[in-house]
Structure formats: C-alpha cells, structure tokens
Structure 1
Amino acid sequence: MKSDPLSWLVSLEGVPSAFASARDGVDVLLRDRGLRRTSPELTAESLLRGAHASAVLEGSGSTFDDVRDGAGDEVAMDAVRLSTELLGLAPLLARAPLQALARMHAVVAGGLPESSRGRPRDAESAARLRDIAQVLSAPTDAPALLVAALVHAELATAAPFPSHNGVVARALERLVIVARGVDEKSLVVPEAAHLELRPAYEGRLRGYAADGAAGVHAWLLYAAEAIGVATEASPLRRS
C-alpha cells in the first residue's frame, strides 16, 4: 500500500484545524442559506464573479459591470470563456487530470496560435504538469480544500503554460472544490477572496515558490483563511 503523499502537509501546525474550520464555513453556508434557494442563476453569478476577480488579478482593467455586459477586455473575456466551460470539466478532472488541465488552457487561451493552446512551454513545464496531475489522481486523506489550495499554488508558481497561468490556477482551485464534493454547485467564490486579500495572496505565492516548507505552510494557512472570505463573497449571501 502506497503512503499518502500529502500526509506531511496535514501534520503541519495549524493546518488541520484551519481547513476543518474552512470546510465548516462552506457547509454552514450551503446548508443554512442554500438548500432551498440554490439555482443555476446563482451558480452562473458565482462563476461570473470569479471570472472577473481572476481577470483583475491577471491584469484586466474591466469592471464587473463591463464583464456582466460582455464588454470586458480580452483578459476578462478569456476568463469568462473558461468559467462557462469549467464545471463540465469536473468528470474529466477526476479520471484524466492532465487532459483537464490541457483543456482548461486551450479554452482560456483562444487568442494564441492553436499549436500553443493546452500545451506546456517546454519539457520542464510538461514534467511539472504531470506532477500536478499526479497530486490530483493520488489517493489521499488530505482535505479537498487543501488539495485545491496545493494544486492552485503549484500551477501558479510553475507557470507551465505560455499564458494565462494565474487564471487557470484559480479556476483549478474552484474545479477541485466542485469535483471533490465540497461545493458541487460552485457557489463560493475563491477568486474574489484572492482579489480581496491580494497583497497576502500574491505574497504567499511568492513565498510558496521561494521559501521551501515554510512557504508551503504559510500558503496553506492563507488558503484556509481565504475560503472563509470566499463564502462571504457567495451570491447566496446576497440572495
């Protein structure tokens, strides 16, 4: 029997309780505010808010009203295009994560030459993508929210694609949360949390890339905190 490759992360100080609290917050939102009021429109609103926030983090200058009206800049429209296909990729993520990652980039990078869409930049990038896919396919007892946070940071810092790596990384976090049953209707908005917490978000990603185990630890604690903000950003709070 293979050992759990993520067990060391679960043993880091404060990490289990932080993610347990984050999951409790999502469960409370969905149970107390969502069961009788969930609709496809709320899911669409969550995805749109997430796409806008992710695009701003990627450099878009479009407002949310621009995006809602279909008048956003290219980065914003790329993020929206990915959001419209994202939930349909949940089954593919579960059975063939590498294909799902390639498809996500192919969708978001519509402006690139076809030969660059869904393809890693080089051999090293291809290896990093395979590593991320292995994390997604390996059996683990780690919380789903932790796995989502981990692959988000791995993809964002590895930047394996020729463009849109941040948008794909944030979409991947959302997709893992959906595919692993935490928020199947995708009503929390993690991208909005990262935008609201932008200095910490960007700082923790830099630390993840540069500071070894300490950087990973700090990122995970940040990511658990961000889920709390993501629940507050849910359209369920406004419905």
Structure 2
Amino acid sequence: MTTDPLAPLLNLTDIATSVEHARERVDQALRHRALRRHGGQVVAEVSLRSAVASAALEGYVHEREAVRGGTVTDPVLQGALRIAGALPGFVDVWQKAPRQVLAKLHVLAARGVVPDDVLGRPSADVGVAARIDGLATLIAGGTGVSPLVLAAVVHGELLALRPFPGPSGVVARAAARLTLLSTGFDPRGLLAVDVGHQEREPEYLGAAGAYATGTPDGVRSWLRHYAAAIEVGADQLTTIGDEVLATA
C-alpha cells in the first residue's frame, strides 16, 4: 500500500480543524446569490484583485482603480494580469503536465522583466530540479489530501525554491490558485486568496520563511496561514458579490 506523503500534515496541531473551517467558509461564500446572474462579473473582479495583490506581494504596489483604468504599465503588474486571465486555460493540463505549465506561467509573469532567453527556463540546480519533480508528482495525483493542503504545499515549495528568475512569487501564487481551480475546490476562480496573503502580509512572509525550514512547526505555521488566506478570499467573494448586486 502506498503512503500518501502529505497525509501526515493533517496530524499537525489544529491543521485539520483549520482546513475544515476554511472549507465551510468557502462553501458559504459560494452560495452568494450574485453568482446566479452575475458570476462573470464577479470572476472578473476577483481576477483583477488577485493580480493587484500578487504584484504588490512582489513589491510592486498599485492602486486598484488605476489598474482598472488601464493606466499602470508596470511589467510585473501586467504579468500578473496576464496570468489571471490565462489561468482557466491551464486547468485541463495542470495535473497532466505541471512542469510545462509552470514554464508557461513564468513566460506570462516575467515577460518584459527578465531577458527573453531565460523565460520559462527553471534553475538547473540538481536539488531544485529534484524538488520540482516531487512537486509535479503530487500535482499529478500523488496525494489525496484536501486541495487546500496541496495548494499550500505547491505555493510554499515554489516560494522556497524560487526556481525561475524575476517575479517567481507571482508564479508561485498562480500555481496555487491553479491547483484550487483544477481540483474543484474553486472551479470558477472565485476566491481572491492572494488578497488574503496581502492583507496578512507580515504573517505571509514569516510563515513562508518558516515553511522553508522544513520543520513541523514551520510547515504548520504556513498551513495555518494558508487556511486563513482562503477565508479572506471567501470574505472577498461575499464583499464583491454584495457590491455587484448593489450596482446591478
């Protein structure tokens, strides 16, 4: 019998409870009545807010309304916007060819930021390559844990490894969102999880650093943060839904 490599994570203190609570918050938010007739509008707003938040976490902070108005030309922000628009198109291939999708995400994120000849090219470091291989196995069905836990591990690993030059964090956050999309946890892309990371940025940075140590306490810290960010994403969905209904 094959042992699930991520199953022990659910035995860390409070993690199973945190995951369950986040799932309940998401399920509640997904029942918002704005999604019945205005789902496309909600998805577009979530994508915009996610892109702005992801760029900000990379150090490129811009006002959301300026971005909405099309006046921001910063290449990192533009890359985050390109990724937000492209994610649904990668859903069907993410679990089949995760390495190739990661390369494509980097091309989208880093165009105009790094030289063209390094776009989509991960680090040649043997240790990094081995961990990416392990991550690809998990994404391709190598675990049966909650999609939230898998997305957190995908995110945490890519932040720790930073296998691509330039805005590698944008790629990590996109890969985590793609994991939620492809596993059916968030099939329509309605959770602005990156907003949760930005709203809790000191915790995000600290927990990511703790995860990189590989200790049980470090991993636990990251998983707790990720569940909290998912809850913020659910709250964002409710807020956006209310705003859409108010202007409909």
TM normalised by structure 1 equals: 0.94
1:78 corresponds to? 79
2:175 corresponds to? 172
Q: Are residues 1:52 and 2:47 paired?
A: no
Aligned length in residues: 239
Fraction of identical pairs, as percent: 37
Within the candidate set 192, 195, 207, 1:192 is matched to 195
Secondary structure of 2:91 counterpart = helix
Within the candidate set 203, 206, 209, 1:206 is matched to 209
Structure 1, unaligned runs of 5 or more: none
Secondary structure of 2:31 counterpart = helix
Aligned partners of 1:118 and 1:161 also within 8 Å: yes
**Whole-angstrom distance in 2 between the partners of 1:83 and 1:199:** 24
**Whole-angstrom distance in 1 between the partners of 2:8 and 2:34:** 34
2:111 corresponds to? 110
**Whole-angstrom distance in 1 between the partners of 2:86 and 2:59:** 22
**Whole-angstrom distance in 2 between the partners of 1:237 and 1:182:** 22
Q: 1:222: Cα distance to partner?
A: 1.4
Q: Are residues 1:228 and 2:227 paired?
A: no
2:164 corresponds to? 161
Secondary structure of 2:142 counterpart = coil
Aligned alpha-carbon RMSD (Å) = 1.5
Q: 1:211: Cα distance to partner?
A: 5.4
Structure 2, unaligned runs of 5 or more: none
After superposition, residues 66-145 of structure 1 pair within 5 angstroms as 66-72=66-72, 73-111=74-112, 112-124=114-126, 125-145=128-148
Judged with a 3 Å threshold, the aligned counterparts in structure 2 of structure 1 residues 119 and 165 are, in CA distance, closer, same or farther, namely: same
TM normalised by structure 2 equals: 0.91
- Which segment is superposed worse, 171-180 or 64-73? 64-73
Judged with a 3 Å threshold, the aligned counterparts in structure 2 of structure 1 residues 127 and 114 are, in CA distance, closer, same or farther, namely: farther
Secondary structure of 1:43 counterpart = helix
Instruction: After superposition, give the CA deviation of every residue in 1:6-57 in whole Å (9 maximum; x if it has no partner).
Output: 1111221211111011011111111244552442222111111000000011
Q: 1:237: Cα distance to partner?
A: 4.2
Judged with a 3 Å threshold, the aligned counterparts in structure 2 of structure 1 residues 22 and 104 are, in CA distance, closer, same or farther, namely: same
1:24 corresponds to? 24
Judged with a 3 Å threshold, the aligned counterparts in structure 2 of structure 1 residues 119 and 214 are, in CA distance, closer, same or farther, namely: same
After superposition, residues 28-47 of structure 1 pair within 5 angstroms as 28-33=28-33, 35-47=35-47
**Whole-angstrom distance in 2 between the partners of 1:228 and 1:61:** 23
Q: 1:86: Cα distance to partner?
A: 1.2
- Please tell me the residue identity of whatever aligns with 2:104: R
4+ residue segments displaced more than 4 Å: none
**Whole-angstrom distance in 1 between the partners of 2:67 and 2:197:** 18
Secondary structure of 1:95 counterpart = coil
2:65 corresponds to? 65
